[in-house]
Structure 1
Amino acid sequence: MKKFMKWLGLAVAGLALLTAAPHVVRADTWSQPVATIGSSLTAEQKSGTLSTLQNAAGVNNASQLTVNGATLVKYLNPSGSTFTESSGVWSSALVQKTDNGGINVKIVPYNGTNNITTITADQYRNAALTAGVSNANLYITSAVRIDGSGALAGVYAAFAQNGENLNNQQINAAQQEVNTLSSITQANKDKDGYSDKQLNNAVAGAKQQMASQSNNGQQTLSQNQIGNIVDSQLKQNNLTTIINNNQRQLIINLLVNVQKAGSLKNNDFKAQAGKLADSIQNSAKGLFDKLNKSLNTEENRNFLQKIWDGIVSFFNGIAQWIQSLIK
């Protein structure tokens, strides 16, 4: 009897612990989308921002989350930003979680004007992938001209509000990635043969390749291995002669950070990276068809050159053999 009472007491205690523990339910889709609104907007701008985002997403039931300086400090400062709690926030986002389809981003004009000056749609997508986001539609806008950092912080906050606290190290890696890719695009945007889509496709492709070679993060790739992957992706995207050595090293560094942060270990990372690369290519099909044709032409040229070199070498060998007989 005493033994029975002892086991009964343990069972009751265990049940009490289970019921007392906080329980977070993570669904593939949320009950409603979340609109993250910059705190520095006027009342009229907040209303206009919400309407702009909801119209773009085709919804009218988004819950609202205010993004302020404290949000920027929490999510962006650990990666090196210097926001304060009094920093202004204007750029805003609407996050719509889905159960498939990858990460999709649309920068929505506010009253006909695109006011996001620095971060591109594909940079948002790559950052979201690194941070651990999967299968989500993100709509970004701003009533005033601004770089767009506030909207990205809002995306992270929206996931936290729905019980999906993204890994801090991955968020830091994502922020470093945004800074790196935006700086490379700013430096090369006026060069012939360069586009932000090529750069982001190369990075997405590198992420997919890294996940594959590392067995989804179970093995650690060396910096040299990551460098080889970067070189392969730059070649495939016809960026080898445009990206300089310093920029190449910056890309390698950001991918090393992605690996260190644990992003490759996310169950869906490889598939999401593949979907991202496919989507980028489909969004600029003419550009990438031209690149593939150019790459194939170069490969064919190299192949024919090798054949010709072999023929020349063969006849040179015969000529040398004949000369040796004459001597």
Structure 2
Amino acid sequence: MKKFMKWLGLAVAGLALLTAAPHVVRADTWSQPVATIGSSLTADQKSGTLSTLQNAAGVNNASQLTVNGATLVKYLNPSGSTFTESSGVWSSALVQKTDNGGINVKIVPYNGTNNITTITADQYRNAALTAGVSNANLYITSAVRIDGSGALAGVYAAFAQNGENLNNQQINAAQQEVNTLSSITQANKDKDGYSDKQLNNAVAGAKQQMASQSNNGQQTLSQNQIGNIVDSQLKQNNLTTIINNNQRQLIINLLVNVQKAGSLKNNDFKAQAGKLADSIQNSAKGLFDKLNKSLNTEENRNFLQKIWDGIVSFFNGIAQWIQSLIK
């Protein structure tokens, strides 16, 4: 009986310790989504922004985080931006952490109008991947026309609020990436055969390929190796004749920075890059089916042309040999 009472006492003590211990919430299972609201919005706009974001995400319990000039200075200035603590912020985001599914971004119209003027949904996704984000739904909106940088700074701040301080070097690389891809899209937006989806699919594919070839960042790829990967992805996305040499070098440079920042070493980077590329292709299936068909036709034509050239060369050789005999 004494032995039983002793074990019972130990069990009760153990149970007391377990119930008294603080509950630890894992970073990948946030208790609630976070809405990052631009500080320059009016009271009505803040209310409208929160409703717009929550309705898009299908939630009504988002915690709120104010994004102001100091947030921009902290997250965006190290990559070359020149914000001040008095800078205005209008674009806003809602961050919903998930267990799987990759990085998904939806730019949500505000009162029926898309006011994000510069950064595209796929550019947000590629930047988030480089910064170290994984498995998250991001909803972006703005009550006024603006480039959308404030929303991206808000995403980084939301992760920090939930105990996931993203690597500063990766955030810097992500911001440089946004600037590069935005400038390339602006320069080519009116060209036939070009779309922002092709460019971002090429970059996501390059990231996946880099992670694979570097053994998840364990080996350092040379600039020439990264250049070959870029060329392969530009070809697959039918951009070889559209992206000029300067833009090609800018893409190589941004991917060199992604490697230097350590993004490839993230355990889930390769898988997230693959999910991103698949999602971009699925979102514009008609476009990429057409590209694949075009590429396959060109490759088949080149293959058949090589065979035909070989046959012609063979018979030309026989003809020349016969002529030499006659002479």
Calculate the TM-score normalised by the size of structure 1: 0.93
Structure 1 residue 188: Cα displacement: 0.3
For residues 27 and 10 of structure 1, the distance between their equivalents in structure 2, rounded to whole angstroms, comes to: 33
**8 Å contact from structure 2 (residues 27, 163) kept in 1:** no
SS of residue matched to 1:86: coil
**Contact map agreement 1:131 1:167 (CA 8 A) in 2:** yes
Tell me the SS of whatever aligns to 1:207.
Answer: helix
Alignment CA distance shift 1:18-1:59 (3 Å): closer
Cα deviation code 1:180-226 (max 9, x no counterpart): 00000000000000000000000000000000000000000000000
- 1:28 Cα deviation after fit: 1.7
Residues 139 and 321 (structure 1 numbering): CA distance in 2 closer, same or farther, change over 3 Å? Answer: same
Say if 2:180 and 2:250, in contact at 8 Å, map to a contact too: yes
**CA positional deviation for 1:7:** 27
> Does structure 2 conserve the Cα–Cα contact (< 8 Å) formed by 1:37 and 1:46?
yes
Q: Cα deviations across residues 46-85 of structure 1 (Å, max 9, x unaligned)?
A: 0000000000000000000000000000000000000000
Q: How well do the aligned residues superpose, as a CA RMSD in angstroms?
A: 4.4
Q: Which is further off, 311-320 or 194-203?
A: 311-320
Mapping 1:244-259, distance limit 5 Å = 244-259=244-259
Overall identity of the aligned pairs, in %: 100
Unaligned runs of 5+ in 2: none
CA deviations 1:242-264 (Å, max 9, x no partner) are 00000000000000000000000
Alpha carbons 1:26, 1:163 under 8 Å: kept: no
Q: Distance in 2 between matches of 1:266 and 1:83?
A: 29
| Distance of 1:10 and 1:154 partners within structure 2 | 48
Post-superposition shift, 1:94?
0.1
Q: What are the Cα deviations for residues 120-161 of structure 1, in whole angstroms up to 9, with x where unaligned? A: 000000000000000000000000000000000000000000
Cα offset, 1:98, TM superposition: 0.1
The ranges of structure 1 where at least 4 consecutive aligned residues each deviate by more than 6 angstroms after the TM superposition are: 1-24
User: Is 1:38–1:92's contact at 8 Å kept on the other side of the alignment?
Assistant: yes
Cα drift, residue 236 of structure 1: 0.3
Deviates more, 1:18-27 or 1:203-212: 18-27
Separation (CA, whole Å) in 2 of partners of 1:2 and 1:244: 85
| Alpha-carbon offset, residue 317 of structure 1 | 1.1
CA displacement, residues 10-37 of structure 1 (integer Å, 9 cap, x when unaligned): 9999999999999985432200000000
**d(CA) in 2 for partners of 1:15 and 1:266?**
37
Task: Give the Cα–Cα distance (whole angstroms) in 2 for the partners of residues 123 and 90 of structure 1.
Answer: 19
CA distance in 2, matches of 1:215, 1:11: 48
Instruction: Find the aligned partners of 1:79 and 1:15 in 2 and give their Cα distance.
Output: 50
1:119 deviates by 0.0
8 Å contact 2:92–2:150 — kept in the other structure? yes
Match of 2:65 in 1: 65
Q: Report the CA distance shift for 1:197/1:306 in structure 2 as closer, same or farther (over 3 A).
A: same
Question: Cα–Cα, structure 1 residues 200 and 14, in superposed 2: closer, same or farther, change >3 Å?
Answer: farther
Counterpart-to-counterpart distance in 1, 2:15 and 2:127: 41
Supply the distance in 1 between the matched residues of 2:155 and 2:234 (Cα, whole angstroms).
29
1:196-215 equivalent positions in 2, closer than 5 A: 196-215=196-215
Structure 2 CA distance, aligned partners of 1:97 and 1:23? 19
Query: For 1:225-283, what per-residue CA distance to the aligned partner results, in whole angstroms no more than 9, with x for missing partners?
Result: 00000000000000000000000000000000000000000000000000000000000
- SS of residue paired to 1:66: strand
Cα drift, residue 323 of structure 1 = 2.0
Relative to structure 1, the CA distance from residue 214 to residue 57 in structure 2 (aligned partners, 3 Å threshold; closer, same or farther) is same
Q: Judging changes above 3 Å, is the alpha-carbon distance between structure 1 residues 4 and 186 closer, same or farther for their aligned structure 2 residues?
A: farther
Q: CA deviation at 1:100?
A: 0.2
- Across the two proteins, how many residue pairs are aligned to each other? 327
TM-aligned CA distance change 1:2 to 1:323, over 3 Å? farther
Aligned twin of 1:303? 303
Residues 131 and 166 in structure 2, CA contact (< 8 A), matched pair in contact too: yes
CA distance in 1, matches of 2:262, 2:22: 25
Assess if the C-alpha contact under 8 Å between 2:129 and 2:272 holds in 1: yes
Residue in structure 2 matched with residue 120 of structure 1 by the alignment: 120
Return closer, same or farther for 1:12/1:218 CA change in 2, 3 Å cut-off: farther
Give the alignment's TM-score, normalised by structure 2.
0.93
Specify whether residues 218 and 48 from structure 1 end up closer, same or farther in structure 2 by C-alpha distance, changes over 3 A only: same
The verdict on how the C-alpha distance between 1:239 and 1:11 changes in structure 2, with shifts beyond 3 A counting, is: farther
> 1:321, CA displacement in angstroms?
1.2
Change (3 A) 1:4 1:91: same
Query: Deviation at 1:319?
Result: 1.3
Deviation at 1:326, TM superposition (A): 2.0
After superposing the two structures, state which structure 1 stretch, 221-230 or 12-21, moved more. Answer: 12-21
Q: Distance in 2 between matches of 1:16 and 1:132?
A: 38
Matches of 2:242 and 2:259, distance apart in 1? 25
Cα pair distance change 1:8/1:219, threshold 3 Å: farther
Structure 1 residues 308 and 55: alpha-carbon distance in aligned structure 2, compared to 1, 3 A threshold: same
Q: What secondary structure is seen at the aligned counterpart in 1 of 2:217?
A: coil
